[in-house]
Amino acid sequence: MKPLEVVRFLLQDKGREPVCDTATAFAPLNIALIKYWGKRDTALNLPVTDSLSLTFPEWGTTTSLKISDTASCGVNGITLGWETPFGQRLKQFLALFELSTPLSFETSNNIPTSAGVASSSSGFAALMKTLNLLYGWELDATSLSLLARLGSGSACRSFWPGFVMWKRGERPDGLDSHGVPLASLWPNLRAGILLVDHTSKPLSSREAMRLTRETSPYDRFWPEIVAHDRDAFLDTLSNPDFQTMGTIIERQALSLHWLMGTSTPPTLYTQPGTIRAIQQIYALRASGHIVYWTQDAGPNLKLFFQALDEVPVCQAFPDLLLSDPFAVSDSISAGARSL
Ligand code: PMV
């Protein structure tokens, strides 16, 4: 099946006429603890392995769509042309929905775009939620997850709070490859985004994944590494132990960045500021404050610690963008539309 056919199938009884003039929705970003790296189907964004994430409810993307005479595209208040890479990707995604009217699109992230802090995950999730409101489709979270995955794989995990598993699925059409919320709660868990470098990433995750798949002699070991760490992670959710969990999270990040480094040419997202921050984390750990980190397709880090260590961690990293992942929050389901 092609993406267009998947969309037609999922929207088969839904209208393509808007039910209101404007719609706005927020979606949170999610950070992978067990990483997605490599596609078994590039057109449908179907992954080679399962992955597992934690939603950061305070951080993400707000997107508005407005019925308009001419289509336009704005990011963080700046108008972007449709010929830019962002504009092209958006246009390609919107074309899948065979909509009847031009749309004016405006999106803003409360975290920097393209700095490896997974803003594409919240971006495509917010866009799907907004389309759902504007066209009155009333899709459930699983259908939204399936559709958002067509824009960006990791977006399919942004429709639920807490820990979310993205099952790789077996079907060639990908209809069994979507986010699934895990029941585990970890109220004392705290997280944070540490921006160590504000420059845009040199290579998109899409390109870097392709390079790894096509050129790394070690890519064939990745499914085994992920399956091992996924099972170990699920064990720690049943028998909570923060140090074991943190060790798995860090090991996943180190394995991912090692694997990327074995492609030709090697992919290197790490910057001097990344290493300095990791050394600071290790120093904090040595002084008894248990903090772990992960890193995605960019130089920045995400930190994980427990509520009892929040003060020393924030003292060490005063600019940390804090998240309380299990705090009661309406942000996951936030959305508004106006006539
Ligand atoms: O969905 P993408 O193309 O933004 O890729 C995400 C890749 C990682 O963030 C490195 C891992 C993941 O599972 O989110």
- pLDDT at 119 > cutoff 70: no
Band (pLDDT 50/70/90 cuts) for residue 206 is very high
- Closest by CA to 34, choosing from 229, 235, 245, 168, is 229
Q: Any idea which residue has 């950070």 for tokens?
A: 31
Band (pLDDT 50/70/90 cuts) for residue 199 is confident
C-alpha 260 – ligand 1 centre gap (Å): 13
C-alpha 225 – ligand 1 centre gap (Å): 17
Looking at this protein, which amino acid is placed at residue 80?
Answer: L
Band (pLDDT 50/70/90 cuts) for residue 112 is low
Q: Between 201 and 177, where is the model more confident?
A: 177
- pLDDT at 120 > cutoff 90: no
Q: Between 85 and 273, where is the model more confident?
A: 273
Two structure tokens written together for 138: 């009333």
> Phi and psi dihedrals of 278, rounded to 5?
-65, -40
> Phi and psi dihedrals of 309, rounded to 5?
-105, 10
Is 44 within 8 Å of 108 (Cβ atoms)?
A: no
Which tens digit of pLDDT belongs to each residue from 24-83? Answer: 999 999 999 999 999 999 999 999 999 999 999 999 999 999 999 988 899 888 898 888
Q: What is the pLDDT of residue 335?
A: 40
C-alpha 227 – ligand 1 centre gap (Å): 17
Q: What is the pLDDT of residue 169?
A: 98
Pocket test of ligand 1: the residue of 296, 300, 302 to mutate, having most ligand atoms within 8 Å of its CB, is 296
C-alpha 246 – ligand 1 centre gap (Å): 19
Q: Which atom belonging to ligand 1 lies closest to the Cα atom of 297? A: 10
Q: Tell me what percent of the residues of the chain surpass a pLDDT of 90.
A: 83
Q: Which atom belonging to ligand 1 lies closest to the Cα atom of 153? A: 1
C-alpha 140 – ligand 1 centre gap (Å): 23
Q: Determine the Cα–Cα distance for residues 276 and 159; give it in Å rounded to an integer.
A: 33
Q: Look at ligand 1, atom 9, and give the residue with the nearest C-alpha.
A: 296
Q: What is the pLDDT of residue 86?
A: 86
Q: Determine the Cα–Cα distance for residues 152 and 86; give it in Å rounded to an integer.
A: 12
Residues with CB under 6 A from ligand 1: 32, 35-36, 51, 118, 120, 152-154, 205-206, 296-297
Which tens digit of pLDDT belongs to each residue from 263-305? Answer: 999 999 999 999 999 999 999 999 999 999 999 999 999 999 9
Provide mean pLDDT across the span 323-334: 69
Q: What is the pLDDT of residue 80?
A: 87
Looking at this protein, which amino acid is placed at residue 192?
Answer: G
Q: Determine the Cα–Cα distance for residues 166 and 181; give it in Å rounded to an integer.
A: 9
> Phi and psi dihedrals of 192, rounded to 5?
-165, 155
Pocket test of ligand 1: the residue of 30, 33, 35, 178 to mutate, having most ligand atoms within 8 Å of its CB, is 35
Q: Determine the Cα–Cα distance for residues 308 and 72; give it in Å rounded to an integer.
A: 47
Q: Which atom belonging to ligand 1 lies closest to the Cα atom of 35? A: 13
Q: What is the pLDDT of residue 330?
A: 47
Band (pLDDT 50/70/90 cuts) for residue 218 is very high
Pocket test of ligand 1: the residue of 33, 46, 177, 205 to mutate, having most ligand atoms within 8 Å of its CB, is 205
